[in-house]
Amino acid sequence: MHLTRRELLHYFGATAATGLLGPGCIGWTREEAIPVDSWHKSVCRFCGSGCETRVGLRAGKVVKVEGLQEGWNRGRLCIKGLLNREILYVSDRAHYPMVRKNGQLERVSWDEALDAAAAGFREAMAQGGPDAVAFYGSGQLFTQESYTANKLFKGGLGTNNVDGNPRLCMASAAFGYKSVFGADEPSGCYDDIEHATLFFVIGANMAECHPVVWERVRDRLRTEPQARVIVVDPRRTPTARDATLHLQIRPGTDVALLNAMAYELLRTGLVDPAFINDFVTFRRGTADSPPLTLEDFRAFLEDYAPEKVANLCGLSSAEIREAARLFGISQAALSFWTMGLNQQTHGVAANRMMMALHLLTGQIGRPGTGPFSLTGQTNAGGGVRDTGSLAHALPAGRVVTKAHDRQDMERLWGLPEGRISPNPGLSAVPLFEAMREGRVRAALVMATNPARSLPNADRYRVGMEKAFLVVSDSIFPTDTARYADVFLPAAMWAEKEGVLSQSERRYHLVEKLVEPPGEARSDLDILVALGERLGHGALLKARTPEAVWDEWRRVSAGTTYDFSGMTYARLKALPGLTWPCPTEQHPGTCRRYVPGEDPLAKKEGRIDFYARPDGRAVVYLSEQGPFRESLTSDYPMTLTTGRRLEHWHTATLTGRIAQLKGIDIDYLEIHPGDAAVMGVKEGELVQVTSARGTVRLKALPSMRVRPGVVFALMHSMEHLVNAATSDYLDPTSAQPEYKLAAVRVERVKEGT
Ligand code: SF4
């Protein structure tokens, strides 16, 4: 069965070509009524937009999922939101724990599986010390689960080898925010969309990857004819089709473009001198480097005049000047970005420069303004970034390298001083390299599929094969589960209870509504049971989702993340709350740093960057560094990757849904001119080869990509594009450069 997008939507009862489902969308047709016993509030378990849902139950099963009218998404869901129901009932859900015996995974009891997992960890630590073990988590775990795993490994086992898949998608944004504002996470909220007059979208295909947020942008465009959209993307995506100005940039040159825009804003005087004077400082490299002046910054930008970088960026200087002009004259500029900006070796520099454009123009802290990175997974922000479940971090903005932060957490966790290691652990890619080399001997992988999602994936599978691997997942078999020594079946979404947070810093409670299949357990239960067996039961005193949440609220108190006022009762009653929210009376904060709105902003005046020691946000002098991988005669083209509307990330979940199986995901978009030179026609098999590996895909000649660039989806199980993607890392954030790999593309001769 091959379904076109329109046929698929028809199947689900909607005809909107956007793939949006919900009352209020063009062409919406309600599904035939399904009897429902009771309705319950919940949140979509897929992307970081965090669409609010109501879930219909009948006879203990989820039978219907709709957008919540009172939610920020106004009743809308995209097709993936609707599939929250289907994903619970795919045929290969994992039901039983398994242990590898004689090379095969065999069903065992929970006790036997957990004993085997604990024995594997104990043996690894006996041989190699605490840093011989690791936790690799996910933005799909609830906040309570990531928090508990972080506590068990950093506070209990004594290793900072705690990282997760948000390192692959969000790390450059997290490091960008922290270095510019002193605290991670965006400053604004979705309500800003209704006030913006310019949307600057860079490295984000929102129409497909954050479609409900994008539909809210389109609402604004429909009601405010003066509103403009600039899209910066090497591909003519569906998002770019809505653009006033589409800059079809050469991949990996965003820093040069943003510097050129800064140059042009300063040259034309479209900046806010009073804001710069009062609230901004200029630095190079790190946040504690000696302060520089606006004139130093102006001199630095001389090398980035639009005509000097236009060729590098693959744009005209007029396009760059126009982008700067539109940004500078707009009454309210709101920027959105995601993996396209983050997944490169200059990801932190690009994030810093995106934030710098807002600081130079004073486009922050007012309705409709601000830098706003979007999150890929449901709970990458709330679960992993906020709880500090990354190798360098501790909860609520603390870091392992600061003695005061470690002591704070040791006190809060009831640990002796010195228990938490001062050494940052291994981040995602180095962690799997350490498994390959035998330095990390045992790892717990939860709710993620690194065998498919890591760049240069074939290399790191060797590590998974060598290490003692405990995998907790709701689906079996994932590619990673094939390497597991112990496999633990996990509950997902409405089969367990927990809190998650989405792109606008809004925390939601997801209640348990149905029983998990077979013997599957929540990841929190699994962590507590494993912690007990490893001798850390006393550390994990909080064992229920509510108890862990209450502990997490106490840990956040007094920090720049303060969630103290978000009680369970409030989360149950409300469609989420945005932080900071320090008291039970506080309604939640839409715009951070704004006195009168943000309870932590104490100074009078326009803005208070209270997380920075001097109260000033930092504009960095950020170089467009050289490409880590140059184009050569062997590898003359650039491969970039992305997603399409119907599937989510590596399609570990959506790829199992019968109704989506017919959707073509195994194609390579190639410019028609390049295809003609190669003599490749539509549908013919081509081989894409990088210095790391190859993938075979069907050629799709398309004007969507610029000459010299090819695009592939990251979803396919059979045709793994991550065999070829680059594992070069941003030197600050350690995020890999998925968006830029030098490749050659060759026609595959029949029979080879
Ligand atoms: S936009 Fe994201 S959160 Fe909303 S329904 Fe679609 S996948 Fe779910």
Q: What is the fold of 637-747?
A: Barwin-like endoglucanases (2.40.40)
CA 73 to ligand 1: nearest atom = 4
Q: In the chain, what are the domain boundaries?
A: 98-165+381-543, 175-376+614-620, 637-747
3-state secondary structure of 194: helix
State the first-to-last Cα distance of the chain, in angstroms, to the nearest integer.
27
Compare 511 and 11 and report the one with higher pLDDT. Answer: 511
What is the mean predicted confidence (pLDDT) over 679-706? 96
For residue 251, which of 744, 745, 738, 746 has the smallest C-alpha distance? Answer: 738
Residue to mutate (ligand 1; options 45, 51, 53, 500; most atoms within 8 A of CB): 51
133 lines ligand 1 (CB under 6 A): no
643 lines ligand 1 (CB under 6 A): no
Interatomic CA distance for residues 734 and 126, integer angstroms: 29
Whether the CB-CB separation of 146 and 389 falls below 8 Å is answered with: yes
Residue 10 is predicted with a pLDDT of 41
77 lines ligand 1 (CB under 6 A): yes
Residue 722 is predicted with a pLDDT of 95
Whether the CB-CB separation of 693 and 751 falls below 8 Å is answered with: no
Q: What is the pLDDT of residues 357-381, one digit of tens each?
A: 999 999 999 999 999 999 988 888 8
20 lines ligand 1 (CB under 6 A): no
65 lines ligand 1 (CB under 6 A): no
pLDDT at 15 over 60: no
Give the strands of the sheet with 52-58, arranged side by side: 38-43, 52-58, 61-67
Residue with CA at minimum distance from ligand 1 atom 2: 47
| Percent over 70 (pLDDT), the chain | 95
Residue with CA at minimum distance from ligand 1 atom 5: 81
pLDDT at 97 over 90: yes
Q: How far is the CA of 205 from the centre of ligand 1 (A)?
A: 14
Residue 12 is predicted with a pLDDT of 44
Q: How far is the CA of 323 from the centre of ligand 1 (A)?
A: 29
211 lines ligand 1 (CB under 6 A): yes
Residue to mutate (ligand 1; options 21, 43, 46, 506; most atoms within 8 A of CB): 46
43 lines ligand 1 (CB under 6 A): no
400 Cβ partners below 8 Å, 6+ apart? 154, 160, 392, 393, 394, 406, 420, 421, 422, 423, 424, 425
135 exposure class (CB count in 10 Å sphere: 0-12, 13-18, 19+): buried
What is the mean predicted confidence (pLDDT) over 554-572? 95
Residue 146 is predicted with a pLDDT of 97
For residue 79, which of 728, 654, 605 has the smallest C-alpha distance? Answer: 654
Q: What is the pLDDT of residues 199-248, one digit of tens each?
A: 999 999 999 999 999 999 999 999 999 999 999 999 999 999 999 999 99
What is the mean predicted confidence (pLDDT) over 148-154? 98
User: What one-character-per-residue DSSP string does 282-340 give?
Assistant: EESSSTTSPPB-HHHHHHHGGGG-HHHHHHHHTS-HHHHHHHHHHHHH-SSEEEEE-HH
Interatomic CA distance for residues 340 and 232, integer angstroms: 9
Residue 377 is predicted with a pLDDT of 86
Give me Rg for the CA atoms of the chain: 25
25 lines ligand 1 (CB under 6 A): no
CA 44 to ligand 1: nearest atom = 8
291: number of Cβ within 10 Å: 13
250 lines ligand 1 (CB under 6 A): no
**Active-site positions?**
80, 169-170, 339, 376-377
- The backbone torsions φ and ψ at residue 28, rounded to the nearest 5 degrees and listed phi first, read -65, 130
What pairing do the DSSP bridges indicate for beta strands 162-164 and 133-137?
Answer: parallel
Q: What is the pLDDT of residues 494-551, one digit of tens each?
A: 999 999 999 999 999 999 999 999 999 999 999 999 999 999 999 999 999 999 999 9
Residue 506 pairs with which residues in a beta bridge? Answer: 578
3-state secondary structure of 499: strand
Residue 5 is predicted with a pLDDT of 52
Residue with CA at minimum distance from ligand 1 atom 8: 81
**Residue 701, both tokens:** 């000649």
Interatomic CA distance for residues 670 and 699, integer angstroms: 7
Distances (CA, A) of 473 to 110, 488, 520, 522: 14, 7, 9, 10
Q: Helix 523-533 and helix 143-150: axis angle, to 10°?
A: 20
What is the mean predicted confidence (pLDDT) over 601-615? 95
For 175-376+614-620, which CATH class? alpha beta
Q: How far is the CA of 650 from the centre of ligand 1 (A)?
A: 16
At 17, the pLDDT band (50, 70, 90 cuts) reads very low
pLDDT at 708 over 90: yes
Interatomic CA distance for residues 93 and 11, integer angstroms: 24
617 Cβ partners below 8 Å, 6+ apart? 180, 181, 182, 279, 280, 281, 355, 359, 609
For residue 706, which of 237, 291, 359 has the smallest C-alpha distance? Answer: 237
What pairing do the DSSP bridges indicate for beta strands 685-689 and 741-747?
Answer: antiparallel
46 lines ligand 1 (CB under 6 A): yes
CA 211 to ligand 1: nearest atom = 1
What is the mean predicted confidence (pLDDT) over 306-335? 98
Q: How far is the CA of 43 from the centre of ligand 1 (A)?
A: 9
Domain 98-165+381-543, CATH: 3.40.50.740
Residue 20 is predicted with a pLDDT of 53
Residue to mutate (ligand 1; options 77, 83, 210; most atoms within 8 A of CB): 77
168 lines ligand 1 (CB under 6 A): no
Interatomic CA distance for residues 736 and 90, integer angstroms: 32
Residue 652 is predicted with a pLDDT of 81
- The backbone torsions φ and ψ at residue 42, rounded to the nearest 5 degrees and listed phi first, read -155, -170
pTM for this entry: 0.94
Q: How far is the CA of 503 from the centre of ligand 1 (A)?
A: 12
pLDDT at 715 over 90: no
- The backbone torsions φ and ψ at residue 691, rounded to the nearest 5 degrees and listed phi first, read -65, -10
596 Cβ partners below 8 Å, 6+ apart? none
At 109, the pLDDT band (50, 70, 90 cuts) reads very high
3-state secondary structure of 145: helix
**Residue 409, both tokens:** 């957490």
Residue 475 is predicted with a pLDDT of 83
Instruction: Write down the mean pLDDT value for the chain.
Output: 93
Distances (CA, A) of 279 to 295, 595, 597: 16, 14, 18
- The backbone torsions φ and ψ at residue 709, rounded to the nearest 5 degrees and listed phi first, read -115, 135
Q: How far is the CA of 213 from the centre of ligand 1 (A)?
A: 9
Residue with CA at minimum distance from ligand 1 atom 6: 78
